[in-house]
């Protein structure tokens, strides 16, 4: 499910961004590719309902007054203007101040300066502005737009320059330009900064520059050192002779690079999704290009042979995903980072050699596909690499066959681990989280039993069933349960002798003897304990009840709880000896109504709980004991 979302929505992992930040050489390590989105949770330019918006000018009748909010760092962000719906004849020019009532103005919020009934004809930004939000400037009648030196981020769809403005200068200070950021039907002269670190998808979409064929070479749109796009996709209504039929849109490749392409020398940065869904068959990269963009060659169905030169340091997320014809891939020494799902669903890529220089390979970079709501592996993939490298670790984490070039050793394919998929881990425990330790624990997020498992592991009540397995769905035997309870009690000193004659394993003799001697867990007959029988929910309730009673807890049960449990159809199925104990466990939230079959919620007294469910019950009992 995770990768389907990643690919279909073209989103990648997030990291927070602040209004001022230190810049480094790598765009991938600084700028989140989701940061430009309008409602992205980490956006610092989104305007939310709980924000207090104030007027720049005290006069409530002054329609030229800007609206602003104070950010967490004490700076001001422009959120709108008061004359937006005042009059169609009102023409406004905004010379944004650098400070409002003692707050430095650092940002233009999402949707802040957009035409309403009023018409914005000019905007000048102060040197203090660091970022311009999503659809922040959307002005059909603009005659000038002066962006400031010191501006660093321009988000998705941020600048719609209207029908009249022909020239725009993007300051040298800008490092991040989001997707389809710059538009304007008359805009044909665009000056770009020399040191961009991130460039989104088709940043000139809808401009006169975009329409001008002189700005394209062999179907590739350039602007100086930047490769803007290798394809432009539009949509048109399908002609249908049946007027009652629903009208649908069809995709049109308005222009695109096709066949064997060569990216021109001197190109330093590619836009996101530059060639996605195009009909190219091969590509030659220039020595000046340091990274292949996110989704750069996504779904190029005819691309079958790719050579990544060592001058390219990073291969972006989903860069070649869904290139289903790709069967030959060469990654030269010098490449350092291969992004998330970079070669996802390249189902004909059955062998790849990864050089020593690669120090990071992100999740599902090679050998994975998405089928029927599940991530599935290419069981035929063979990774050739060097021992002790990130590639060897990737092969082991993902269970792929691995041939070590330097030693000649072959590591056969196996099971994947948590490092190979999107399972959530508990942040407070990091790599020691059960999700990381055991390949059969699916996720810490949304799993009601995860905290119980962590409690039992931390306190030695439960251990794994193997080096990397916990077997959360297995049931519990009476011997196992006695051992767990013995550990919960602190493994008290007790002799191993007991009256039971069917205790054959040393590991549970002392726990069973202790439990029987203290009246906590009885035998199934005078001389038998039945250690291999499965323990049930009502049996667990009885043991918990007796132990809590021995600790002096209040064992009374409110009548309302009894009445509530009696409404369930399987209440009569509770054994007479266990009714009071089950009722007490439910009132004290040690047990819960749950669904055994995914549909009907019930008590299920005779059901055998799983190891994961038992861990939660132990955790709940411990909480109850420690709270009294």
Distance CA 152, CA 131 (A): 6
User: At 483, phi and psi to the nearest 5?
Assistant: -65, -40
Token duo for residue 434:
């059960």
Distance CA 338, CA 359 (A): 9
Q: Could you tell me the mean pLDDT of each successive run of 10 residues in the chain, 628 residues long?
A: 36 30 35 74 81 90 91 95 81 96 96 91 97 95 97 96 97 96 97 96 96 96 98 82 70 92 97 96 97 97 96 97 96 97 96 98 93 84 97 94 97 82 78 85 87 95 91 94 93 81 92 89 90 95 94 94 94 96 95 85 95 96 92
Residues 6 or more apart in contact with residue 242 via CB below 8 angstroms: none
What confidence score (pLDDT) does residue 597 get?
76
Other Cβ atoms within 10 Å of 442 Cβ, number: 16
Q: Whole-model pTM? A: 0.72
What is the secondary structure of 274-323 as a DSSP string? SSTT-EEEEEE--TT--EEPTTTTTT-TT--EEEE-TT--EE-TTTTTT-
Token duo for residue 539:
């049996």
- Residue 225: name the closest of 176, 270, 175 by CA: 270
Residue that is written with structure tokens 């390249």 in the block:
346
44 within 8 A of 18, measured Cβ to Cβ? yes
What Cα–Cα distance (Å) separates residue 62 from each residue in 67, 182, 377, 627? 12, 31, 64, 61
What confidence score (pLDDT) does residue 288 get?
98
How far out from the chain centre does Cα 558 lie?
A: 45
- Residue 129: name the closest of 101, 157, 156, 100 by CA: 100
Interstrand relation of 220-223 and 226-229 (parallel, antiparallel or unpaired): antiparallel
Other Cβ atoms within 10 Å of 84 Cβ, number: 18
What is the secondary structure of 401-446 as a DSSP string? EEEETTT--EE------GGGS-----TTTGGGSHHHH-TT---SSS
Distance CA 484, CA 491 (A): 9
What confidence score (pLDDT) does residue 449 get?
94
- Residue 45: name the closest of 109, 103, 137 by CA: 109
Distance CA 214, CA 361 (A): 39
- Residue 357: name the closest of 401, 301, 416, 309 by CA: 309
For residue 193, the 8-state DSSP code is -
Residue that is written with structure tokens 């539009």 in the block:
234
- Residue 531: name the closest of 513, 556, 546, 512 by CA: 512
CA 312, 317, 320 angle in degrees (round to 5)? Answer: 75
- Please return the burial class of 176, using the count of CB atoms within 10 Å of its CB with bins 0-12, 13-18 and 19+: buried
For residue 366, the 8-state DSSP code is S
What confidence score (pLDDT) does residue 246 get?
65
Interstrand relation of 360-361 and 337-338 (parallel, antiparallel or unpaired): parallel
Report helix, strand and coil shares of the chain as percent, to nearest 5. Answer: 20, 25, 55
Interstrand relation of 176-177 and 131-132 (parallel, antiparallel or unpaired): unpaired
Q: Tally the residues of the chain.
A: 628
How far out from the chain centre does Cα 552 lie?
A: 47
Paired with 477 in beta bridges are 534
Distance CA 616, CA 272 (A): 46
Residues 6 or more apart in contact with residue 544 via CB below 8 angstroms: 581, 585, 590, 617, 621
What confidence score (pLDDT) does residue 18 get?
31
- Residue 301: name the closest of 266, 327, 340 by CA: 327
Other Cβ atoms within 10 Å of 354 Cβ, number: 25
Distance CA 132, CA 406 (A): 51
Token duo for residue 126:
């102060």
């Amino acid at each position: 499910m995770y990768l389907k979302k990643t690919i279909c929505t073209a989103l990648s992992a997030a990291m927070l961004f602040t209004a001022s930040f230190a810049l480094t050489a790598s765009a991938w390590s600084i700028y989140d590719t989701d940061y430009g989105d309008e409602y992205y949770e980490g956006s610092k330019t989104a305007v939310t309902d709980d924000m207090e918006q104030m007027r720049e000018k005290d006069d409530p009748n002054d329609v030229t007054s800007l609206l602003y909010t104070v950010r967490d760092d004490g700076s001001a962000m422009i959120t709108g203007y008061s004359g937006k719906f005042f009059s169609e004849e009102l023409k406004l020019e905004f010379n944004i101040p650098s400070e409002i009532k003692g707050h430095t103005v650092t940002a233009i919020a999402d949707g802040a300066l957009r035409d309403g009934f009023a018409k914005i004809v000019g905007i000048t930004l102060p040197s203090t502005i660091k970022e311009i939000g999503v659809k922040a400037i959307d002005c059909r009648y603009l005659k000038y737009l002066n962006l400031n030196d010191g501006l660093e981020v321009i988000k998705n769809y941020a600048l719609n320059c209207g029908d009249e403005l022909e020239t725009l200068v993007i300051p040298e200070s800008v490092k991040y330009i989001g997707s389809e950021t710059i538009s304007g039907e008359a805009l044909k002269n665009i000056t770009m900064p020399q040191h961009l670190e991130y460039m989104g998808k088709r940043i000139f979409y809808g401009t006169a520059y975009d329409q001008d064929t002189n700005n394209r070479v062999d179907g590739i749109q350039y602007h100086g050192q930047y490769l803007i796009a290798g394809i432009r996709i539009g949509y048109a209504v399908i002609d249908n002779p049946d007027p009652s039929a629903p009208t649908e849109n069809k995709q049109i490749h308005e222009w695109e690079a096709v066949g064997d392409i060569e990216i021109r020398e001197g190109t330093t940065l590619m836009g996101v999704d530059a060639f996605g869904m195009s009909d190219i068959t091969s590509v030659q990269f220039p020595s000046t290009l340091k990274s292949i963009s996110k989704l750069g060659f996504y779904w190029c169905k005819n691309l079958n042979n790719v050579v990544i030169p060592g001058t390219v340091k990073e291969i972006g997320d989903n860069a070649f995903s869904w290139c289903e014809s790709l069967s030959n891939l060469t990654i030269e020494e010098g490449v350092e980072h291969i992004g998330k799902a970079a070669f996802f669903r390249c189902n004909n890529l059955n062998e790849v050699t990864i050089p020593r220089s690669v120090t990071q390979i992100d999740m599902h970079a090679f050998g994975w596909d998405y089928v029927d709501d599940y991530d599935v592996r290419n069981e035929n993939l063979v990774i050739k690499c060097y021992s002790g490298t990130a590639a060897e670790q990737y092969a082991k984490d993902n269970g792929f066959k691995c041939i070590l070039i330097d030693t000649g050793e072959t590591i056969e394919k196996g099971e994947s681990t948590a490092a190979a998929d999107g399972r959530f881990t508990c942040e407070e425990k990091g790599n020691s989280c059960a999700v990381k330790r055991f390949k059969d624990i699916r996720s810490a997020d949304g799993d009601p039993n995860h905290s119980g498992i962590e409690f039992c592991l931390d306190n030695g009540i439960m251990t794994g069933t193997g080096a990397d397995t916990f077997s959360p769905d297995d049931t519990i035997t009476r011997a196992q349960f006695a051992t767990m309870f013995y550990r919960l009690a602190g493994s008290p000193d007790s002799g191993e002798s007991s009256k039971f004659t069917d205790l054959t394993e040393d590991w549970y003799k002392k726990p069973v003897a202790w439990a029987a001697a203290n009246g906590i867990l009885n035998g199934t007959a005078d001389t038998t304990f039945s250690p291999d029988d499965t323990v049930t929910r009502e049996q667990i309730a009885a043991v918990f009840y007796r132990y809590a009673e021995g600790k002096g807890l209040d064992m009374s049960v409110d009548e309302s709880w009894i009445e509530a449990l009696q409404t369930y159809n399987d209440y009569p199925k509770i054994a007479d000896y266990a009714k009071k104990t089950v009722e007490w466990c439910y009132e004290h939230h040690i047990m819960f109504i749950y669904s055994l079959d995914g549909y009907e919620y019930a008590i299920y007294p005779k059901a055998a709980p799983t190891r994961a469910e038992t861990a939660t019950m132990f955790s709940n009992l411990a909480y109850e004991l420690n709270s009294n």
